Structure 1
Amino acid sequence: MTPDQLIAELQAFEGNDRLFNPWRERCREYDLFDDAPQQKAARLKAHLDNPGARLVLLGEAAGYQGCRYSGITFTSEAMMLERALPRLPRLDHRLTSRERPFREPSATIVWGALYELGLQDSTILWNTLPFHPIKGEALSNRTPSTSEIKLGAGYLAMLLAMLQPDVKLIAVGNKAREALELIGVTPYAAVRHPAMGGANQFRDGMRQIAATL
């Protein structure tokens, strides 16, 4: 499995009124460019093209503040405008038509911890469900269903097959942990999700994991 093959598998999934596929569909409300899905796929490929990765940080599902428009888990439009990320140049243009760029607070905390610990170049960001579960409108998030988590399991298996066998899988938050238990993926470590006052616990958990590498 290669990044190109994994992305092709993602692009093959046809979204519906409950699941939006960022790498196949253009968001008519906010994506600025007709080729927005292709741009997101290119960014995801650059992110995944990391044969030396040692960690996979696993979130729950793509959300509208981050992956829906950036194409990368725990990564927002605002963040990419403000700084370059590993294997990705700093954006020199807007991605969406929203008055202000989409900003995901958890993304800022996650990347901040990775840079603090020197793990930014050796980490892959992913979701148990790579697609965006919506409640009928673009700017909405919902908890994935059991069947959707099982759908995401296939893509997670492809990702893990692409990486080195000793890569460490880290569930970020209870939802990601529960998803891994549901689909029987082991072993894994777990850290507190940075949202809802969990930033310091997330950082502490990441420091403990970094100390074991």
Structure 2
Amino acid sequence: MPENFTAALSDYRAEAVFNPWGESDPQHDLDQQGAETRRRQLLHYLRERIGRAKTLLLAEAIGYQGGHFSGIPMTSERLLLGGLKHKSLGPELVFNDLEPQRTSRPDLRPNGFTEPTATIVWGFLVDQGIDPRSVVLWNAFPWHPYHLKKGLLSNRTPTDEELLSGHRMLHQMLELGKFEQVVAVGEKSFSQLQQLQIPATKVRHPANGGAGKFRLQMLDLLSRT
């Protein structure tokens, strides 16, 4: 059940890793309810998709501009708060049965943090008329790894040891979702799936100039399914 999965996800702790659903960000959270808010938002996101979604879209790790504050992989707080409606991206794409809440301090980003990859992925779904509840966005390492010296508003690549913990949750997600296809976003997430012998198709990560190729490969993939 999504409730058990979310609870297990919230338990993980490691140095230089932020768990959005189990920990508060004392420097950047709006209040002490941040973890609870993010956990609730993730749960509602999953409830509207598990048992319905046919595709798992897997990237590498949570980033500080995305799931760190929204609580949802590849989803920015700004999208949840309605700040991307000019791009036809609104919170109703993410969930309908909950009023979205911000967890970051407004003085950091008045309209909430925004993540380019998240905007590209959600924009692709909308542009192609894909039911957003037919896809679950997830990460091979489902927490936020950051640089100790740079602080919580930074990203880093997860270590091999950390990825092993992510694999445990990935297996649980696959069992929970019973997806018909798994799509790896980028080489790093694809290598994790290969290591676990999980059949998957790879598409270009949209970051660093890869947005166009990501869209073309996703279109080609959808045309064959």
TM-score interval for Structure 1 and Structure 2 normalised by the shorter chain:
over 0.9
Letter in 1 for 2:17: L
| Cα gap change, 1:142 to 1:92, in 2 (>3 Å) | closer
Partner of 1:110: 121
Alpha carbons 2:74, 2:118 under 8 Å: kept: yes
Tell me, in whole angstroms, the C-alpha distance in 2 between the residues paired with 1:195 and 1:179: 19
Unaligned runs of 5+ in 2: 83-89
Aligned counterpart in structure 2 of residue 169 of structure 1, from 171, 174, 182: 182
**TM-score under structure 1 normalisation?**
0.92
Q: What are the within-5 Å matches in structure 2 for residues 13-32 of structure 1?
A: 13=12, 15-32=13-30
Q: 1:99 aligns to what? A: 109
Whether contact under 8 Å (1:58, 1:126) holds in the other structure is: yes
Comparing 33-42 and 53-62, the one that deviates more:
33-42
CA distance in 1, matches of 2:102, 2:73: 18
Change (3 A) 1:62 1:88: farther
**1:52 partnered with 2:62:** no
For residue 153 of structure 1, what is the amino acid of its counterpart? H
1:123 aligns with 2:135: yes
Gaps of 5+ in 1: none
1:87 is matched with which residue?
95
What is the aligned partner in structure 2 of residue 160 from structure 1? 174
Cα gap change, 1:189 to 1:119, in 2 (>3 Å): farther
1:150 pairs with 2:148: no
Note closer, same or farther for the CA distance 1:149–1:92 as it changes in structure 2 (3 Å cut).
closer
Distance apart, 1:88 and its partner CA? 4.2
Deviation at 1:185, TM superposition (A): 3.4
Aligned residues: 209
Matched residue SS, 1:75: coil
Which residue of the partner structure matches residue 32 of structure 2? 34
Q: How far has the Cα of 1:47 moved from its partner?
A: 1.4
1:58-73 maps to which residues of 2 (within 5 A)? 58-73=58-73
Tell me how far apart the structure 2 counterparts of residues 74 and 94 of structure 1 sit (CA, whole Å).
16
Aligned residue number for residue 85 of structure 2? none
Instruction: Normalising by structure 2, report the TM-score.
Output: 0.87
Distance change >3 Å, CA 76–CA 89, structure 1 → 2 = farther
Pair 1:4 & 2:3 matched:
yes
Partner of 2:153: 139
| Distance in 1 separating the partners of 2:155 and 2:4 | 28
Deviates further, 116-125 or 2-11 = 116-125
Q: What do you get for the CA RMSD once the two structures are aligned?
A: 1.6
Provide the rounded CA distance (Å) in 2 between the counterparts of 1:90 and 1:20.
24
Q: For residue 199 of structure 1, what is the amino acid of its counterpart?
A: A
